[in-house]
Structures are given as structure tokens and as C-alpha cells.
Amino acid sequence: MVPLQASESGHEFIRLFPDQRMLLQPGRTITTWISGEFEKFDDFKEVQPVIILEEDGKKDVVEVDVQGDKLRLRWKKIGTSQITLRIEKPGSGHIFYDRIKLEAWTPDYGLMFFSVLGGLGIFLLGMRQMSDGLQLVAGPSLRKLIATVTDNRFSAVLVGFGVTSIIQSSSVTTVMVVGFINSQIMTLSQGIGVIMGANIGTTITGWILTLNIGKYGLHIIGVAGLIYLFSKMERTRFLAMIFLGLGFVFFGLELMQYGFVPLRDLPEFSTWMESFSAETQLGVYFCIAIGCVLTLIVQSSSATLGITISLAAIGVIRFETAAALVLGENIGTTITAILASIGSSTNAKRAAYFHVLFNVLGVLWVSSIFRWLYLPLILSIVGVDSETGLIRDPKVGIALTHTVFNIVNTVVFLPFTGIAARFLMHYVRETDNETEKEQSRLTTLGIRRLETPAMAIERSRIEVIRMGNSCLRLLEKVALLIGAEEPDQKNIDRAFHQEEELDTLQDEIIEYTSSLLSGNISHDIGDAAHQQLRMADELESISDYLIVILKSYLKLRKDGLAIPEPQKSEFKELHHATEEYLSMIIRFYSARRTDFADLTTEVHAQGHSLTRKAKITRDLFIKRMSEEKFDPQIVIAFNTQFNAYRRVREHAQNVAEAIAGMK
């Protein structure tokens, strides 16, 4: 009932309470004494208690000797022992009994390592599960968020915050931004705003970890796992996935803390930790460097944040050290964007470099005021224990440190986003041949970016729109070529090259969406992926028939023949009507319109008009065939081109049906 303290050479090593274990290393001789806590008991006020060894423990493990109010413990080997002390007040007959369990140990570094490693793995798995569940539940909202990005810096920051709050990873959001900029879906200025918002959004993870429900991790996993396995309702399963991930996060955190606990009792570790304490300015920078390197290795700031919280929560590291580590973790997380920008466009590289610049400059100015302003501010908000002088809740303090840093840094940098963009455009220059290379580059779709299905399907959607616009440009090019008296050979080559690019574009979209479909996705995203696959196939077929028209025209020209002028003029009108028909469908899809009834009505109306125009063109040609004699090659070319236009109209209608969700 009365606490004892263990001491060696006057240095407090561990506090010992009755019925708890004293963890000490064998070979050490420890002297303990009764603390002043006895003064709280009236029976012992102003009277020195008498300590008597009532029951000795295993003497082959530890020898116990009582010397007045002190105990002398001499450890012999690994093992446990239990002693009972009788504490008397002289002349009063009042007695207390204290039973103490003692355990001598040596650090099991293997167990510690695998406890931490296993906990980290489960923690990361939980973050992934929670992120996937959130995306599956909030998929449509997430895609709407992405679509609302504008040049307004405040809206871009809000979008970055919202997306990262759902995804629970600023690294993934930043990688996506790099990909969007590379695909010209976003401008550099928009991407900069989203990146700043993503840094704020990722701080939500820290607040999740402050919840004191770690011991219920297995309970949450059990309940959520059963619901996920046996529920037949999709939304219920996705919600269960969120809680399953949350359970893994807290269970992993508990395992990491369990692995770190023995470190508290190792004098060697305590000495090592003191070497990079944040009590000096140099120590602050050293801690920042350690946090940065750890995050570079783990490739997840959420993971290193979890490790930092685990160490601080059990007292292995002081709060000041943990706060400095958090600053370094903000720098380390930028490496993911740098890796994603390799092989990307110059603008994508600029976005990745901004992420580094934003975090490094932020850490530099915050670290300069860390000890005399920033840390006292955090301590004043969280509160300090009056007796110990330590922060009341290290977990809350670390989460607050992370949040305040990113919010303040964003507020400071937000007015300078335009300047930052111009700076990066000036100093990160394009190479001589990069502009042409970027223009000729096809998709930037890659399997590595399928971590976020909601954002992945948005990326492939943009590529499908690009494919539709490419078909429209090919229509224009074919019209110019068949209408020219002397078609330019370079334009002819470009038309054929554009059709080849559309073939490759379709292949890349198929590979990307097929990989997406093989993952754990919602029906909503699955339907969108199937829609895009069908649209890509129909658009590629349109490009094939446009080239058929061009080849037919070129063959006639090579043979010194030409379709008569009246028929040529009618084909020109048919070509223009076909272009308007496809353009209307692509515009509908690009604008994210959902009034599919209006689309169906318009498609049928324009389709019927196009069919009538085609029949009139055919009937007039047949009539002229009876009035004048045409070369057989001209008749064959006419039929070939006529059938090609009809096929283009049919495939365009199929695109519209795919958009409207029709089979």
C-alpha cells in the first residue's frame, strides 16, 4: 500500500508500488527506501517506521537485506521472486504488510523489435483499411470535391483538406496532385493550394490517435470484422471496414507501446535519448533531423507520428523531444511526392518541389521560435501538471503541435502562392525538347496511383474525355484534308499518328481501369470503370472509321479520280453534322451533367437527323448513277465513306448510351 523507490548512486531509477514488479537487470545491487508517503498516515507521523522482512523470496534469484528503513537487493540471476514486508509503528501495535513481486530481466531485443515491427505493420494496415472504407463510403462526394478545384486559393486549400481528411494520407493526395498537374487536369497554382490543404487534412490522424481507446482495439476488430464478413449490405460492409481499420490502428499502437515499454528501464537507452533531447536549440535541430529520416524510411508520416505518440505516451521520450520529431516528420513526408514526380512533366515536378519548399521553410521558421514561443504556446493550451511540471496529456500535445504547425504555416504561405508559382516556374525550367515531349505524351495513368479508387477513377475519366476530344480533332483534320485541293503530307501523317495514339490511349485506359476493377471498390466506382471501358472502345472505333474515310479519299486521289463535286459537298455537310453530334455527347460528359433523359432525347433527335441526311446523300448518289456513268472506284469509295459515316454515328450513339448507363 505504500510506495517504495528504487535508487542507485542517488539516481531515481524506477518507482515501485506494492503488488507490482520491479524490473531490474541482474548483477546490479539496488538499495531502496521507504518514501515520505508514510507521513500521510496519522499512525506514522513523527515516528520512524520499523521494516521487518516477513517472508523472503527465492534466494537464488535475489538476496534481500533490511537495514533500518532501507532494503538492499542483490540480484543473482534471471527470475522472479516475491517478498513480504511488515511495517510497524513502534509501541503502537499498528502494522502494515506490503507484498512486492520482483523480477530480474535482460532486454529481449528480438521481442521488442518484432513487437514494434508487428505493431507498425498492423497500424499501417489499419490506416489503409480505414482510408479505403472512407473512400468507398464517400466516393461520390470525394469526386465532387476534386471537381470543385478552382484558381481560388482558398477553395483549393479546402479541397485539399477535405480530400486528405477522407484519404487520411497527405502523401497520397500530393501524389495525386502531381499526377493531375502532369495530366493538365490542374494548374500549378491550383495544385499548390491543394497541397497546403492536404498538410492540414493529414493532422486529423493525430487527433484520432489521441482517443484513449487503445485497449479496446481488439474488441473493435472483432465486432467490425464479423459485420464486414457476414453483412450483405454494401454500405454496412464499408462502414465496418472503417471501424476495422480503426481497430487495427489502435491495436497496432498498443503493440508498439508494449514493445517500447522496456526501453524506459534501460539506463543505456535513457543515456542515448538524452543525447538528442530538445532542451537546447541544437537538440531541436537534431530531433527534427531524426524525425525526417524516420519518415523517409517508413514512407508514412502517420506511421512515424504513431511511433512518436507511443514513445511519449509511456514516458520513453519527453514531450519537447516528441514535438521536435513531429516537425521533422513534416519534412520527411515530402519524399513521396518527389518520387512520384520522376519522369513527370515540369509542372508536376514544380508541384513536388513546392511541397518540399513549403514544409522545409515552415519547419525552419517554426524551429527558430520553438523553445521560447511555440512550445510554451502548446503547453499553455494543453496544460502542465503543477506537481511534476510535465504536460498533462502528451498525446493531445503532439496532435496539437502537428495541427498548429500546418495551419499556421498555411496561413503564412497562402498570400504568397502566386509568388511561389512564379518562383518555381522561373527556377525549374523545361528542357529544350520537353515541351514537344509533353504535348505528345499520352496518359500518365499508372498502377502506382491506384491507392485511392475515387481519385483513380477521376484520373481515368479525364483521359476518356481527352480521348473524345482527340476524336473531335481528328474529325476536323480529316475534313480539312478531304476538302483541300493539295493536302499537306505532314497533316496526313499527323492524322495517321493521331489515330495510333488513340489506339495506345485506349490500351492504357483498359490496363488502368482493369487494375482498378480487380481491387476492393464500391459498385459506384465499378460502374464508372465499366462505363469508361465501353466509352474508350467506342471512341477508338470512331477513330478507325475516320481513317477509313481518309484512306478512301487518298486512294482515289492516287488513282487520279475524285468523287463528283455535288456528292463531295453533301459529304462535307454529313461530316459537319457528325462532328456536331459527337461534340454534343463529349460536352455532356465533360460537364458532369446527370440529366440523362435530356441527353437521350437530344441524341435520338440529332441521330435521326443525321440518318435522314445520310439517306438523302445516298439516294441522290444512286439517282445520279442512273443518269451518268461513274468509274467503279468512285462507287466503291462512295460506299466505303458512306458506311464509315454511318458507323461513326452508331459508335457515337453507343458512347451516349454508356454515359446514360444504358446497356
What does the pLDDT read at residue 100? 73
Task: Return the bridge partners of 80, or none.
Answer: 103
Are 498 and 558 part of one and the same domain? yes
**Is residue 265 located within the same domain as residue 407?**
yes
Rounded Cα distance between 267 and 274, Å, is 11
Total number of domains constituting the chain: 3
* Span 164-201, pLDDT tens digits: 887 777 777 887 787 777 766 678 888 888 899 999 99
The verdict on 250 and 328 lying in the same domain is yes
Q: Which residue has the higher pLDDT, 83 or 600?
A: 600
R_g (Cα) of the chain, nearest Å:
36
CB 200 within 8 A of CB 160: yes
In-domain check, residue 181: yes
The residues, any chain, with a CB within 8 Å of residue 291's CB and separated by 6 or more, are 304, 308, 324, 325, 326, 327, 328, 329, 331, 332
Question: pLDDT tens for residues 301-360?
Answer: 888 888 898 888 888 888 999 999 999 999 998 887 787 777 667 877 888 889 999 999
Number of residues that make up the chain: 663
What distance in Å separates the CA atoms of residue 8 and residue 72, rounded to the nearest whole number?
Answer: 11
176 in the same domain as 62: no
Domain that holds residue 38: 4-106
Domain check: are 508 and 578 in the same one?
yes
User: Pairing between strand 21-24 and 95-104?
Assistant: parallel
Residue 439 included in any domain? no
Q: So what's the pLDDT on residue 21?
A: 42
Domain assignment present for 434: no
| Residue 10 reports pLDDT greater than 70 | no
422, 469: one domain:
no
Tell me the mean pLDDT in the region 213-232.
Answer: 89
**Residue 647 reports pLDDT greater than 90:** yes
- Distance, in Å, from the CA atom of 191 to the CA atom of 395, rounded to the nearest integer, reads 32
Give the CATH number of the domain where residue 523 resides: 1.20.58.220
Residue 269, number of CB atoms within 10 A of its CB: 15
Average pLDDT for the chain: 80
Are the C-beta atoms of residues 329 and 392 closer than 8 Å to each other?
no
The answer to the question of residue 553 being in a domain is yes
Please, are residues 289 and 327 in contact by the beta-carbon 8 Å criterion? no
For residues 522 and 583, state if they share a domain. yes
> How far is the CA of 552 from the CAs of 122, 391, 620, in angstroms?
63, 81, 20
At 429, the amino acid letter reads: R
* Helix%, strand%, coil% for the chain, nearest 5: 70, 10, 20
Indicate the angle between helix axes 319-332 and 394-413, nearest 10 degrees: 40
Examine the domain organization and report whether 287 and 351 are in the same domain.
yes
Q: Which of 19-23, 149-153, 196-200, 559-563 has the lowest mean pLDDT?
A: 19-23
| Residue 437 belongs to a domain | no
Q: What is the pLDDT of residue 8?
A: 35
Q: Cβ of 588: how many Cβ atoms within 10 Å?
A: 21
Closest to 429 (Cα-Cα) out of 345, 493, 327: 345
Mean pLDDT of 577-596: 90
Q: Are residues 100 and 129 in the same domain?
A: no
- Are the C-beta atoms of residues 291 and 324 closer than 8 Å to each other? yes
Tens digits of per-residue pLDDT, 429-468?
765 454 444 444 455 565 444 456 777 787 788 889 989 9
pTM: 0.67
Q: Is the pLDDT of residue 419 over 90?
A: no
Mean pLDDT of 559-570: 81
Mean pLDDT in residue range 601-618: 88
